[in-house]
Amino acid sequence: MSIPFSPHSFRALAALLWALSPISAHAAHPLITEDTGTQGQGNFQFEFTNEYTTLREGGVNQPITLTAAALSYGVVNSVDIIITVPYLRLGQSVANGSPGEHGLADLGLDVKWRFYEREKLSFAFKPGITFPTGDDTRNLGAGKHTWSAYLTTSYETAPWTWHLHLGHVHHNNNSNERVDIWHASVAAERQLGKSLKVVLDAGIDTNTQNGSASDPVFAIAGLIWSIRPDFDLDLGFKAERTDQYRASALLAGLAWRW
């Protein structure tokens, strides 16, 4: 006999997805871990990403899909401004039979500043804010402005590049969720020929659910294919778990620079 699906786990994972969506939209997808690269003065980048997640608990599956569009602009060579527009689809609730929800989540605005670069090592700082454009009564947003701050380090040792990503989200919300959300992750990229990279990522985030002692940990493996110097396609797989639930996700995206 299946254990009833817990709506608390569904809400916690959905909240984590849209609270941290600016991270995944700005990294070299399918990575969540940010790199220190910027677009260069006067240059743009458009990213379109999709994360289809299956949440598994008590033998029951629940789908969650996060689609995001992000536009980056290089103000100067070392500073980007990034706007992220996320769209969230929540599957029908197995717990109570209520219909699924879908709609715009909370818009994000970030600034990425690479403040140190010497030889193979570089550092970047990325503060950001989200706006309560998602309907929090339908689990599509926080209902309040949130802010975040992240520090990223990149180290290049060809053909490998390594990244470290540490930060904090001040998750103001109307749902009695945790306000202080911490993030830590590491990633590696390996160049395979001129146009292909294999990427690996792993990290941990604070559980948004109050009272939970188990924080979600994740691991990602994927590929980035540079069809042209200014256009990338990517594909990845993500596994995430806590003591309460397991989740797996198929990640896909594209990036176009001009």
Q: Within a domain: residue 14?
A: yes
CATH number at 56 reads 2.40.128.130
- Residue 207 makes CB contacts below 8 A (sequence gap 6+) with 12, 16, 178, 214, 215, 216, 242
Q: Within a domain: residue 1?
A: no
Of residues 17, 170, 173, the one with CA closest to residue 86 = 17
Q: Within a domain: residue 21?
A: yes
Distance of alpha carbon 33 from alpha carbon 121, whole angstroms: 16
Of residues 196, 218, 178, the one with CA closest to residue 23 = 218
Of residues 31, 225, 215, 6, the one with CA closest to residue 96 = 6
Q: How many CB atoms lie within 10 A of CB 23?
A: 26
Cα distances (Å, whole numbers) of residue 160 to 6, 28, 80, 188, 228: 41, 15, 24, 7, 21
- Residue 167 belongs to what domain range? 7-257
- pTM (2 d.p.): 0.90
Residues 57-78: tens digit of each pLDDT: 667 788 899 999 999 999 999 9
Residues 150-172: tens digit of each pLDDT: 999 999 998 999 999 999 999 99
Mean local confidence (pLDDT), 10-32: 74
Q: Within a domain: residue 2?
A: no
218 close to 32: Cβ distance less than 8 angstroms: yes
Distance of alpha carbon 198 from alpha carbon 228, whole angstroms: 17
212 close to 12: Cβ distance less than 8 angstroms: yes
Mean local confidence (pLDDT), 32-56: 94
Total number of domains in the chain: 1
The confidence band for 209, taking pLDDT boundaries of 50, 70 and 90, is confident
